[in-house]
Structure 1
Amino acid sequence: MQPPVTPASSAAGAPPPPPPPTTTCSTSCRFVLPPTRRHLLASSASSLLLAAAAAAAPRAASSKDDDAVTSYDPVTAAERAASASVSRRVGEAVRLLDLGRDLQARGEFPAALASFTAVATEYGDLSLSGYARVGRALVLYEVGDRDDAIAEMEDASVALRGYPEIHAALAAALYADKHAALLAENQFAIATLLDPHYTDLAYVRDTKHWPPSLVDSLRHFITLS
């Protein structure tokens, strides 16, 4: 008689593995992450918050800087008021200068003299007053003392050296009234070197609107009569 066959596991002496436990979960069961997973998620959230705060800080600082640049005004109220005052003075001087030239062109020489004189005396600190002195000298030659007119021309020729009109006018006056031919030639050479038009009597009469007496003096100089 043969002995009964014994299973291998039994022969090895190891008991069979227990069956998996049966887990029952009611509605109160919750899914719980392992501690390591919870730590990783918390760290990621903190990193995102820190990154967002770091990105927002430069934008806020830039916005503040933009507001500061926009609101900053380097010109003070006193400087702005002074600039407005100068602008008004320049505008009034230009108006009187243009008025004097218009009156001179129409042959209203006394009124033109008054306008030029106002610019020269009331706005003498402005550079354009030199051109008013030129107009004043030319008109003064027609209606006033010619000696005063020539003195005014000489002063203006120094202050505005290189301005051809005053040199041409001084040449005509020096030749006709002072009989200073050499000085007249020197002045006229400067004038015609800068602007050859002053050899043309029609130009000084119709374009520059010189007074008749000064045109006549220039004619005498050009023709050496």
Structure 2
Amino acid sequence: MPIRLPLLPPDPSAPFPPADGATRDPNGLLAMGGDLSPARLLNAYRHGIFPWYSAGEPILWWCPDPRLVFRTDAFALSRRLCRDLRRSPWQVRADTAFAAVIDACARCPRPGQDGTWITPEMRAAYVELHRLGHAHSVEVFDGPRLVGGIYGVAVGRMFFGESMFSAESGGSKVALAGLVRILRGWGWPLLDAQVENPHLLSLGGRRMPRPAFLAEVARLTALAAEPGPWTARVAAFPAAALAGPTPD
């Protein structure tokens, strides 16, 4: 039987349908239509909703249950990666290569996925959010070469991760760890990872029931945090710093 979804009205500030009306299969499909304007996207994220669709489809909006999240005070890299990082020349930066990160995420092959959901329209929408100071990237460089990165959206004191990539083994893990370090330093407790997969679970992602997640989103997005580029707030730092002190 075809799924009948609510169609979003033209007003980007109009309420989304209640999350408990989302489908169970597929998990979390809530609504369709609308646009990818900054106002619509920020409205969605403030309510724990994100767009995800393929080329040729209408815009689809999701709010899955459970939600995969990272607690910034409980994230840890593997001992093996920490050992490698202690002698790594990599450097972590923020908001210095947003377009390059989103382009690399679009090109990155995904298991079981044909093509990319980062359509030209999605790319343009998030580049505009970045220009407005709401979307951010954390990048990992080996000299001048970008070897890993992650990007997402910040609203209040909540960060919603969108996608990450590796051009070298461990690049995405280091980007994620760098983002967690930044958020933890600011007292931001939660990083949304949207939909679970084995890779994210292996990194310490945790399932959170949707009602609990939405309550946290409502609380954290309401807290004061000025939008703007992170380049002035986040100084570049060596990836080796993510490994912690050298064991005795």
Q: Give TM-score, length-normalised by structure 2.
A: 0.22
Q: Give TM-score, length-normalised by structure 1.
A: 0.24
Is the strand fraction higher in 1 or 2? 2
Question: Which of the pair has the greater relative contact order for Cα pairs under 8 Å at 6+ separation?
Answer: 2
Is the helix fraction higher in 1 or 2? 1
